[in-house]
Structure 1
Amino acid sequence: MNKLSSFLEQKFMPTAVKIGNQRHLQAIRDGIVLTIPLIIIGSLFLIIAYFPIPGYDSFMKNVFGPNWQTSLLMPVGVTFDLLAVFVVVGVSYRLAEHYKLDALSVVVTSVAAFMLVTPYEISFTPEGTDQVYQVRGIPLDLTSSKGMFVAIIVAIITTEIYRYIVKKNIIIKMPAGVPPAVAKSFASLIPGFIVLLILWMLSLLLKATPFENMHNIVYVILGKPLSLLGGSYWGAIIAVIVAQLLWVTGIHGQGLVWGIMSPVWLALIDENRQAFVSGKEIPHIVNTQFMDIFYSIGGSGTTLGLAILLLFRSRSKQLKQLGRLAIGPGIFNINEPITFGLPIIMNPIMMIPFIFVPVVIVTVSYFAMDFGLVAKTAGIMVPWTTPAPIGGFLATGNHISGAILQIVNVLISMALYYPFFRLYDNQKLKEEQNKTE
Structure 2
Amino acid sequence: MNAFINWLNKHLVPVAAKIGSIKWLVALRDAFIAMMPATMVGSVASLLNALVRDIPTRFGWTGFVNAMQPIVNINVQVWTGSMAILALIFAFTFGYHLSIQYKVEPITGGIVSLGTFIMALPQNSIITLKKTLSAADIKTITDAGSTVSGKTISTPGFFNFNTYFGANGFFTIMILGGLASAIYIWFMHKNFTIKMPDSVPPAIANAFTGIIPAIGSLYVSGIITWAVNTMSKSTVIEIISNTIQAPLLNMSQGYGAVLLMTILVQVFWFFGIHGTNVLGPVLDSIWLTAQLTNISAATAHKALPYFWTRNAFDLYAWIGGAGSTLLLLIAILMFSTRDDQRAVAKMAIAPGFFNINEPVMFGLPIVLDPIYFIPFVIAPVVMVTIAYFVLAAGWVAPIRVQYVWSMPIFINSIFATLDWRAPILQLVNAIIGFLIYVPFVKAANKVNPADLNQE
State the distance in 2 between where 1:188 and 1:433 align.
Answer: 60
Query: 1:347-389: CA deviations, max 9, x gaps?
Result: 11101111111111111111112223222222x1011111010
Say which SS state the counterpart of residue 396 (structure 2) adopts: coil
State the distance in 1 between where 2:5 and 2:356 align.
Answer: 25
Pick from 215, 224, 230: which aligns with 1:193? 215
Question: Residue 100 of structure 1 corresponds to which residue in structure 2?
Answer: 103
Q: Is 1:418 equivalent to 2:438 in the alignment?
A: yes
Pick from 284, 291, 304: which aligns with 1:262? 284
Q: Given the superposition, is the C-alpha separation of residues 221 and 127 from structure 1 closer, same or farther in structure 2, using an over 3 Å criterion? A: closer
TM-score by length of 2: 0.88
Q: Is 1:69 equivalent to 2:72 in the alignment?
A: yes
Pick from 377, 398, 408: which aligns with 1:387? 408
Question: Residue 347 of structure 2 corresponds to which residue in structure 1?
Answer: 325
Kindly state the Cα deviation for residue 124 of structure 1 after the two structures are TM-superposed.
Answer: 4.8
Q: Given the superposition, is the C-alpha separation of residues 316 and 85 from structure 1 closer, same or farther in structure 2, using an over 3 Å criterion? A: same
Query: 1:299-345: CA deviations, max 9, x gaps?
Result: 00112211111222221111111111121011111111221122111
Q: Given the superposition, is the C-alpha separation of residues 312 and 124 from structure 1 closer, same or farther in structure 2, using an over 3 Å criterion? A: farther
Say which SS state the counterpart of residue 82 (structure 1) adopts: helix
Amino acid at match of 1:331: F
Question: Residue 165 of structure 1 corresponds to which residue in structure 2?
Answer: 187
- Identify unmatched segments of 5+ residues in structure 1: none
- Residue identity over aligned pairs, in percent, reads 28
Q: Is the 8 A contact 2:168 2:293 kept in 1?
A: no
Kindly state the Cα deviation for residue 232 of structure 1 after the two structures are TM-superposed.
Answer: 2.1
Question: Residue 421 of structure 2 corresponds to which residue in structure 1?
Answer: 401
**Bigger mean CA deviation after superposition, 270-279 or 317-326:** 270-279
Amino acid at match of 1:197: Y
Q: Is 1:156 equivalent to 2:160 in the alignment?
A: no
Q: Is the 8 A contact 2:295 2:402 kept in 1?
A: no
Amino acid at match of 2:160: P
Query: 1:55-112: CA deviations, max 9, x gaps?
Result: 69545435344x6534322222222221111212222111211222111122122212
Residues 19-418 of structure 1: pairs in structure 2 closer than 5 A: 19-51=19-51, 52=55, 58=62, 60-65=64-69, 68-124=71-127, 133-135=153-155, 136-140=157-161, 141-210=163-232, 212-378=234-400, 380-396=401-417, 398-418=418-438
State the distance in 1 between where 2:228 and 2:428 align.
Answer: 51
Query: 1:16-52: CA deviations, max 9, x gaps?
Result: 1001100101100111111122111111111111124
State the distance in 1 between where 2:118 and 2:394 align.
Answer: 41
State the distance in 1 between where 2:411 and 2:131 align.
Answer: 45
Q: How large is the RMSD of aligned CA atoms in angstroms?
A: 2.5
The alignment of Structure 1 onto Structure 2 pairs a total of residues equal to 430
Query: 1:256-305: CA deviations, max 9, x gaps?
Result: 22222312212211332243234443231211121222222110011221
State the distance in 2 between where 1:58 and 1:276 align.
Answer: 20
- Identify unmatched segments of 5+ residues in structure 2: 134-150
State the distance in 2 between where 1:283 and 1:259 align.
Answer: 22
